[in-house]
Structure 1
């Protein structure tokens, strides 16, 4: 297979995820399709051989495309595409149509799209990429030219605004908490199959350098691998709210030693283990009886 054909095939494997990211960012199926095609254009011009994590590169790139479009809505409400700027699309790309847009909107949840529309472009970008698709704060920081700590604060602010905007399935903290609690229980009891069921097939586990020193790995991908890591663990982990989102903490000797943050949609799509004391001190943590309310 020709290199260009292979690249198009690999892109098509990621198209559903990219379309989902773009639709949550832009709120329109037609605009989402355009953003995905623009992402293909950028990939076709890039040195794809030098991209180690194609899924991450594509997710960040489509997010950047959508962020530019959101910002342009204020400055230039209508900004048509130049016909000459579009690269040939992958062979099996399909044009957007009203029926597909309606189905996609329904799958996302109209209420959630309405709430997302209340966020500023950067808030929406951070919330969608991190809280819905588990893109790391470090990766997001490079796009928005902020520090990871500042991006974390933006995510926390956006999360609170979404929660105040109404309870919707993808942002319902009570439902997310139940999933996290079920995961912790399955981890403690060594129920591997239950762990796999609670995890998205493409889940990502990330750990900071201090957590790595305690026995974690910098990054683990896939439900089986992440379930294997947690199977029989989490003995000292207790549920908590971390920056207003359901999470967990490991308390030893009366001090929080590890913070686990979770990105939850219908299943867990991302977990971050933080053990650096300075980073832990920056979290807004709610534990004990207050977290159970």
Structure 2
């Protein structure tokens, strides 16, 4: 599914176009005639695009990608279009969609129809007691920002995602320890000891500990790999692994302390 970050990027992108161009584009896909006043264009686009259903959003995005030449011709100076299009393209890739030959290509079929884990994770973290939740959310956002930067820093993307996972696991371990009379000693700064502690106190199973260790190892290697997968897709994959593991740890812990 298309996440909130990509929808906001689409708002910024369509904000470059004349309101009538955007209005006709939306009406083409059965979006009711909406008011797009030039002086409040971004606010109006935000209201419309963030409320669109997934199917309509994909249709609009597909046309934007397919007709980027026409849309670019309407904008001067051209760098404004190029910068916004580059940002939209990278946001789409974070959601698992590659812009290729003027089409949107799903890079991971397993995510089709799935709710964007990043949106759900940040919402859950916002309501969580974790002492470092602001730092965790900041790291998740930094991970996306370095991915979308010009030029992108794919290794930094993975580093930020890994630190978010480390920090969340450590905060959960602290909370789990506070609920035990005599918790086992462990070093909060060492990933292996943190997840081993989580297993010992019943937060995760041995298989889940191995999975967390594997994801951490994947992230630690970085985006530079001598394989056929491009760096941007490798970085997106690693980031996705990290956020999914964050989501698992958080939801698992919340269920346990109900």
Q: Please, what TM-score do these two structures have when normalized by structure 2?
A: 0.33
The structure richer in strand per residue is 1
Higher alpha-carbon Rg: 2
Larger proportion of helix: 2
Q: TM-score, normalised by structure 1?
A: 0.30
